[in-house]
Structure 1
Amino acid sequence: MKMMIFFIVGLTVHIVFFLSIFDIYFTSPLVHGMTPQRVPLAPPAKRLVLFVADGLRADSLFDNRTGRAPYLRSVIEKSGTWGVSHTRVPTESRPGHVALIAGFYEDVSAVAKGWKENPVEFDSVFNESRHTWCWGSPDILPMFAKGATGDHVYTYTYPSEREDFASTDASRLDTWVFDEVKDFLNVAKSNETLLNMLHEEQNVFFLHLLGIDTNGHAHRPMSKEYLENIGLVDSGVAEIVSVMDDFYGHDGKTAYIFTSDHGMTNWGSHGAGHPSETLTPLVAWGAGVQTAHREDSHKYDDNYLKEWGLETLRRADVNQADIAPLMSSLIGVPFPVNSVGVLPLNYLNNSQHFKAESIYANAIQILEQFRVKMAQKKETTLSFLFTPYQPLTDSKQMDFVRNARNLIQKGQFDEAISYCKDLTVQAMEGLSYYHTYDRLFLGSSVVLGFIGWTSYVVLFILKTHASLRKPPTYLHMVTERSLGQIFLSIGLLVALFLMVQSSPWTYYIYCLLPVAVWFSVMREFETLASLIRSVPSLPLSKCFGYFLLVTFGIELLVVSFFYRAMLTLGLIVLALWPVLSGLYTKAKFRSLNWMLSCLFLAVFPLLPVVGREPNVNYVICAGVLTLFSSSSYLWSSWRCSPLIRRDRQLFICQMMQVVLCAYIPTSTHSSLQLKQGLPLFNQLVSWLTLVSSFLIPLLSSTRLFHRLLSILMSLVCVYLLLSTGYEALFPPVLSWLMFAWINIEQETMNTQGTSNRTELSSTDFAENIDIAKIRQLRLDDIRRSYFFVFFIIIAFFGCGNIASINSFDPSSVYCFLTVFNPFIMGGLLMWKVLIPFVIVMCTFESIQVSTQLSSRSLFLVVLVISDLMALHFFFLVKDHGSWLDIGTSISHYVIVMSMTIFLMLLSIMTHILTSKRILIGWKRKMHFR
């Protein structure tokens, strides 16, 4: 009962620590209540047409060697302005379109709240327009209609089933959009109401073109399908421009913008910060847009201009969020109130007066956000504790605004533009200042709680698993009562402080949790005193050695999050462990098996994470390796403990399943290459294999090696179906090392005289360990726990890292489905990531059983090591530098904390997977034992 309470409390504490990162770093930057700002002068355009070619890379469009986009090329050379739009991570469709149309980057609170739609109401160019008509994907358009006030954003979407990666021609998605726009304008000619709406000012037409992205995922950006789709989009844009001009009688009042939400890597994925993902094209032309300018010198030295053949044309790069204020300025609508984009003046073909008024409105719009943010923080902070942002105090704000207005009124437009740009920079820095105002306070509370919790777990281990339990004394009870009164007073003072500041309810949890945790630590003062008294009797040199091992090991694991090759170094050191420990001389065969498996697994962290072309031959090799290793282990274990007929038949069926699952990816890949779609048989086998992988192991014998082998083959079958390259070999090699680990741990127990060599083959998961035989923790168990944590990190990073998770390649799920579905695809990807975890967890369960340890004792040591890593990453979280650096540092902490929580839950699942069995009697009734 006490252990269950400890488990629940521990899980709760870790969930709180995990969620704290969302309040500290993942809070929404959006504020509401600002006054919309617009340019007071007449706009140059009455309407705007926005083309977004989803997934189009800058180099794919601008490279002139193939001449794939002649119309847009002519616009760049003669009638428009061009540049590169720099996106931010994550380079996905939803945040990219929000940046383009609403002017702010990824609302990080969306990480925990939503996928397709932004979870916070936000303003956009579409919302500020008179009318907006949108055509394209059902995954993108609805969020802008939902976020709009009134009923003036109209969306026309095709069925989601059309977004099929196995489609013979994904460019038909773009053809559908172009055809629908032309039909719409034709219908408008005979519909007087619609015709009048279309001739009003401040209208927007949005064409979302998904074909390029879909073809890029399915065939890669260098494929014929991807490049031909660019040509189709180019001709479609030319046709739409012609139709628009004819419809409006060539009045010259239409502005056009062509861009992309994100790029794509050579291997057909996006999500991370590679230049091929963050560099997107921007071409603008029409009413109010600067025409092409010749230029001999450039400020850009990225070597792209010569490759693109554009070195003589002026290039004007922007940040993606800058496009929203550009669109607002062209058609004269208020800037989106949440926009952090800065108006790119070099795209405007207008007077200096118009440019000055535009940048002034842009600066005031950002300043409005700053004012609201400052007012909110001032209301929730005690006056004597509030520290305003010094460069923009109330008086300095008034001076900024007054001076900028005076410069414009005096006709000093160039000075006014420069002054407003300075104001914009200050307002942006002020927004960041108030957005992170409470970060130090909350971070300190979380760190204090973290240290307290880790200290408590260490004391709990010493008390319950290291013979340091002492009966409570009268002095202990008196001291505990006094401590309770002291910490209760501290908790009340903290709660009162938070109440006076009108803090959110989550702040109470983050600040009061350390009080409760440290009270629990102080209650164990007798355990700490016992530890101090026992120090002289401890083997200090051995303790110091293990302390160095854990310290060095944790640092190595932390560095491996940044450099995967460090895992190779770690595996090489692990391979030498039998030699260094003296095990090699006593068990040469098992030691050699361990060393070879470590060295083979050490190859994987050196291989590329992403960027590989699919090679299903690796999948076949993985199937053959699984069959060979399974047969070897079955033969070796059968000699010691023969299989009954039912288990023999089950293993034969599983081997046949491995053969089939090794063939399915090859068949699917071939079918998709021939553009024949996903075969129904392959799809049925894939889904049946996924479902059965949870049930088949429960039918096998619960003897240690037999159950582990059944689990391995079931999981490998699913992994083969989700593999496209060398990663298919990872689970078999990892499993080889896991079996070697079990054997060599048994050998260490043999050398210590606490186990018999014959026990391992006959060990049964279903048999409860005799409580009398459960031993106390030893120093060597620290090494076992560290090995487990190391193998868990290997399981996660062996074939991937942060970039590979963000850069999801949908081709790995083509055996299951080809129609785009982010939830199902994401779920399959996550299960692929978790399969190596399950293999390691099941092995750890075996280690606990074979070494006669209580399952909770080793796991508590693992908990301490994981928490020390998490605390390390908490200090490494960045709030400065590039968005990729900031996002990666936060992701590291989230991964380690998620891993800790997940391992606590996964231990329950693996216990069921290893020890429970479904029995089918002769009357075919099923029993769950």
Structure 2
Amino acid sequence: MGIPVFILAGLLVHCVFLVSIFDIYFSSPLVHGMTPQQTPLPPPAKRLVLFVADGLRADSLYELDSSGTPRAPFLRGILENNGSWGISHTRVPTESRPGHVALIAGFYEDVSAVAKGWKENPVEFDSVFNESKYTWSWGSPDILPMFAKGATGDHVYTFCYAAESEDFGAEDAAKLDIWVFDHVKSFFNSSRSNQTLFSALNEDKVVLFLHLLGIDTNGHAHRPNSREYQENIKQVDEGVKEIASLIDNFYGNDGKTAFILTSDHGMTDWGSHGAGHPSETLTPLIVWGAGVNYPQKVTTQLFEDNFLKEWKLENLKRLDVNQADIAPLMASLIGVPFPLNSVGTLPLEYLNTSALFKAESMFTNAIQILEQFKVKMSQKKETTLSILFTPFKPLSASEQINILKKIRLYIEQQKYDEAVSLCKTLINLALEGLSYYHTYDRLFLGLSIAVSFVGWTTYVILVIIKAHTDLTKTVSANKKKSTVLFYGFVSAGMIIAFFLLIQACPWTYYIYCLLPVPVWYAVVKEISVIQDLATNVLSLHIGQFIGFLLVCILGIEILVFSFFYRSALTVGLLVFAGWPVITQLWIQAKTKALIWTLLCVILAIFPLMPVVGREPNIPLVIAAGLLTILISLFLLAYFCKSENKYRDNEDLKVYFYQMFSVALSTYVVGSTHDSLKIKQGLPVMNQIISWMTLVFSPVLLLLSPTFLFERLFSILLSLMSTYLLLSTGYEALFPLALFGLMFVWINMEQEALQHYGLSLKPKLAVFNFTCTMDITQFRQLHLDDVRRSFFFVFFIVTAFFGTGNIASINSFDPASVYCFLTVFSPFMMGGLLLLKVAIPFVLVSCAFEAVQVTTQLSSKSLFLIVLVISDIMALHFFFLVKDYGSWLDIGTSISHYLLVMSLTIFMMVMNGLAQLLTTQRLGLPRRNKHHSM
């Protein structure tokens, strides 16, 4: 297999591995074709008002301030005197769109839906708004349109402010909520002179939705403990009071309006959400009005947390719900069909209705979820051979009929408690059955991918051994055997394809199930290599072989462990610090070894630092900028003194421009955050400089000389000028420590070369990246090259986890991009944050490029070893993926797999980018600098 074909095959195989996880774990759980289910009794309310205070934490609303008074006196009065209250437990990811879908449609979106778009939902779904007679909504253009677009007919109306209003750098985001309250008031005032609107407002089954984004925006910009966030809560409280009074007066206090106030998600102390901290997943729920229970006095409550005592609410019954339970509650209050895809369970304790109404509503809830189960089962049955189909036994057709008959009998006999209890049992069974059929194909798809994984890794190892070592001798294949082998695998592929065809499987299943065929065909074709290898291994000292194997396993396990505990990287770096002592490098190069040890220890500190929960520390960012300039001056002085006759002194001007860019970035960071602190917004000039720096930094880099140290130095300066603009604290120092270690690593690898007695050891001072095109013939792989590749993978993982973890990447903290923009733009902000994550990767990749060319190895041979290491890690995480436990556990395990799989593909891209950044140069041709080394 040629190099281009191998690279293409590798990319395709890894893309399949990566995409497969979405089919296996992230396929949409929604089904269509159910019959709408509605409670047959008249509802207690004619209309519903839903207030969603985006980003409002439960404790921020319920707790008393330092003077012992409530932050939201009106809402406090409601829960003490007029309504019911509790905590709504959200799921990860705690983002705005999924939170609103759970509230209004009753189901939890899968993570893939979050990735597919913020403003539009990737799948069609039913909602309380869709089932209503009329819905009017006011608020954010990021949330409201998706509920209107998914509605059948023209009865969901939206009133949105401009997207530019969502500015994290604005003086006070509470204006967003004031906009909503003002427009609702104007709406009701105008309805008095508009007979059509007035008539519509007086219909039954009406919903009014007020989306209040100010608290969320102020939380991101100023943190939840800030005066702005807490003042915004008071303003929302006053606004809710005014709107509730306005609506009651409009309808003549008819007592037919139900009110609900809740939040889509909370927020961490540091102003982010998206991971799974309790401050993000605990949101308030206050319900009052028509059909809602009054406060229930109690003496004891069974909650393990200490919130009730802190909030001085221990004597009022707290009614906790899952976020998806709010949708059936809303549907029940106004008498609309339960959303078709809802998986919520009606929280009966919130209802102040007859026992019959509660029982009938619960029965409707059970039937609605059972309908989803039936559709899901029939879909799976249609696409599975009858002899292979295994039904969900706890809820067989006869069992369904039996339970439904019992519930109906209990209701007729007025045994309402028994009916409700049996309904809850039926709901739980139906939800279990939905999960069972949703994951029905997971086992055989997972096995197919695992078999492909093992086959691919085996094939890459065989390619390494065959092409880059002296362990085997090439043996020509027997043509007759090869033909039999080929037709054997083709036949196996045809059988698998036929099996999938008769089951009407999706086209992606063909890819996952057929992939092992060509992969294992490639492995079996190399049977002669396997035989040679087995012979050579047996002739080796078995103790040495086992020792080498154990070291490899231990190294990979440390890498895997670091995904769960960042401190494992600290342990690894401290072990690396002793590398010169373990080998003989300490004797050969004492100064370099000492610096290596020192830098390993310095870098080992970063994984021990907090990743989230820290306040911005702009002085540290400024210090990092000044330190970069200081190091630059020292290196420039060194380059000026260097006696390199091939170096053009005019090239040094490029570095002065880059140093000026770093200085400018340092100034912009300090200036921007000072401006935001005094609420003057993002200065336009700072924004222009930031974007120009981002665009022109790579251009300056490509103008610099391609000599090894000069080009690497230029890469650091170019990346640092952008990285500083994206930093808010100690992480600004991380690239400096990482680059220092990479710089010494290149030198240390030079010292390690003499172990092989290589006479063509290049002199690094005059080494030019453009003179490295013909090194593939220099030497074969040695065991030490496995160590080099492992170092590279370890440093890549360190580049990612050195200042962050899965939770910190998931958490949305826009403070890092304030130099570029403050107006909410998820894709732009996300792109800039990904760039920040990628910059340390680029530093490591460029250093590895330098290592492989100076140690006279082809990038292919070293990269193949890297591929094997990362694939073994990926297979690890494939088996560690969970589909049980908390949503955070499930999400984290999948994130680990996605990260390693992305890393494998990403390193292929990084390899090409590193070659571009190290070898290419812009500008007119100058005097010939090429020379033999």
Q: TM-score, normalised by structure 2?
A: 0.97
1:783–1:638 Cα change, 3 Å: farther
Offset of 1:810 from its aligned partner?
Answer: 0.3
1:48: which partner in 2? 48
1:148: which partner in 2? 151
1:491: which partner in 2? 493
Is it true that 1:913 corresponds to 2:917 in the alignment? yes
Q: Equivalent residues in 2 for 1:160-559 (5 A)?
A: 160-467=163-470, 470-473=473-476, 476-536=478-538, 538=540, 540-559=542-561
SS at match of 2:253: coil
Offset of 1:640 from its aligned partner?
Answer: 3.9
Offset of 1:823 from its aligned partner?
Answer: 0.7
SS at match of 2:769: coil
Is it true that 1:681 corresponds to 2:685 in the alignment? yes
Q: 2:783 aligns with which of 757, 779, 785?
A: 779
Q: 1:844 aligns with which of 836, 842, 848?
A: 848
Offset of 1:677 from its aligned partner?
Answer: 1.1
Preserved CA contact (<8 Å) 1:848 1:855: yes
Offset of 1:119 from its aligned partner?
Answer: 0.4
Preserved CA contact (<8 Å) 1:77 1:313: yes
Q: 1:618 aligns with which of 612, 617, 620?
A: 620
Q: Match for 1:44: what amino acid? A: P
1:678–1:98 Cα change, 3 Å: same
Q: Match for 2:387: what amino acid? A: F
SS at match of 1:120: coil
Preserved CA contact (<8 Å) 1:634 1:706: no
SS at match of 1:919: coil
2:869: which partner in 1? 865
1:114–1:434 Cα change, 3 Å: same
Preserved CA contact (<8 Å) 1:107 1:118: no
1: CA distance, partners of 2:60 / 2:885: 29
Q: Is the deviation greater in 169-178 or in 758-767?
A: 758-767
Listed one character per residue, the Cα deviations across residues 472-521 of structure 1 (whole Å, up to 9, x for unaligned) are 53x52222111111111111111111011111111110011101100110
Preserved CA contact (<8 Å) 1:746 1:755: no
Preserved CA contact (<8 Å) 2:776 2:857: no
Listed one character per residue, the Cα deviations across residues 726-752 of structure 1 (whole Å, up to 9, x for unaligned) are 110100110001001101001101343
Q: 2:884 aligns with which of 877, 880, 884?
A: 880
Q: Match for 1:592: what amino acid? A: L
1:791: which partner in 2? 795
Preserved CA contact (<8 Å) 2:775 2:853: no
Preserved CA contact (<8 Å) 2:98 2:114: no
1: CA distance, partners of 2:704 / 2:156: 59
2:814: which partner in 1? 810
Offset of 1:772 from its aligned partner?
Answer: 7.3
2: CA distance, partners of 1:140 / 1:770: 57
Q: Match for 1:417: what amino acid? A: V
Offset of 1:757 from its aligned partner?
Answer: 6.5
Offset of 1:108 from its aligned partner?
Answer: 3.5
Q: Match for 1:34: what amino acid? A: M
2:602: which partner in 1? 600
Listed one character per residue, the Cα deviations across residues 739-792 of structure 1 (whole Å, up to 9, x for unaligned) are 011010011013433156761111111113434752111110000000000000
- Gapped regions of structure 1 (runs ≥ 5): 923-929
Q: Is the deviation greater in 459-468 or in 51-60?
A: 459-468
Preserved CA contact (<8 Å) 1:641 1:761: no
1:641–1:429 Cα change, 3 Å: farther
2: CA distance, partners of 1:773 / 1:586: 27
Preserved CA contact (<8 Å) 1:292 1:313: yes
Listed one character per residue, the Cα deviations across residues 283-323 of structure 1 (whole Å, up to 9, x for unaligned) are 00000000111111101120000110101111100000000
SS at match of 1:250: coil
1:84: which partner in 2? 87
SS at match of 1:518: helix
1:34: which partner in 2? 34
2: CA distance, partners of 1:260 / 1:529: 64
SS at match of 2:770: coil
Q: TM-score, normalised by structure 1?
A: 0.98
Offset of 1:468 from its aligned partner?
Answer: 5.2
Preserved CA contact (<8 Å) 2:569 2:607: yes
2: CA distance, partners of 1:567 / 1:422: 47
2:930: which partner in 1? none
Q: Match for 1:712: what amino acid? A: L
1: CA distance, partners of 2:493 / 2:652: 62
Offset of 1:542 from its aligned partner?
Answer: 4.3
Q: Match for 2:851: what amino acid? A: I
Offset of 1:240 from its aligned partner?
Answer: 0.1
Preserved CA contact (<8 Å) 2:775 2:856: no
Offset of 1:469 from its aligned partner?
Answer: 6.3
Listed one character per residue, the Cα deviations across residues 521-565 of structure 1 (whole Å, up to 9, x for unaligned) are 000011112212323554655443332222101111111111111
Q: Match for 1:325: what amino acid? A: P
Offset of 1:921 from its aligned partner?
Answer: 6.5
Is it true that 1:708 corresponds to 2:673 in the alignment? no
2: CA distance, partners of 1:768 / 1:655: 28
1: CA distance, partners of 2:404 / 2:527: 61
Q: Is the deviation greater in 748-757 or in 777-786?
A: 748-757
Q: Equivalent residues in 2 for 1:17-166 (5 A)?
A: 17-64=17-64, 65-166=68-169
SS at match of 2:843: helix
Cα RMSD for the two superposed structures = 1.5
Is it true that 1:664 corresponds to 2:668 in the alignment? yes
Preserved CA contact (<8 Å) 1:94 1:117: no
2:703: which partner in 1? 699
Offset of 1:585 from its aligned partner?
Answer: 1.4
1:926: which partner in 2? none
Is it true that 1:900 corresponds to 2:904 in the alignment? yes
Preserved CA contact (<8 Å) 2:106 2:327: yes
1:927: which partner in 2? none
2: CA distance, partners of 1:414 / 1:772: 79
Offset of 1:106 from its aligned partner?
Answer: 1.6
2: CA distance, partners of 1:66 / 1:886: 40
Offset of 1:695 from its aligned partner?
Answer: 1.4
2:929: which partner in 1? none
- Gapped regions of structure 2 (runs ≥ 5): 927-933
2: CA distance, partners of 1:758 / 1:117: 57
Q: Match for 1:692: what amino acid? A: F
1: CA distance, partners of 2:720 / 2:785: 30
1:504–1:829 Cα change, 3 Å: same
Preserved CA contact (<8 Å) 1:57 1:277: yes
Preserved CA contact (<8 Å) 1:28 1:108: no
2: CA distance, partners of 1:52 / 1:909: 46
Q: Percent sequence identity over matched residues?
A: 63
Offset of 1:914 from its aligned partner?
Answer: 0.7
SS at match of 2:866: helix
Listed one character per residue, the Cα deviations across residues 772-827 of structure 1 (whole Å, up to 9, x for unaligned) are 75211111000000000000000000000011011121011000001000011000
Q: Match for 1:213: what amino acid? A: D
Q: 1:735 aligns with which of 723, 732, 739?
A: 739
Preserved CA contact (<8 Å) 1:546 1:782: no
SS at match of 2:771: coil
Offset of 1:471 from its aligned partner?
Answer: 4.8
2: CA distance, partners of 1:876 / 1:602: 27
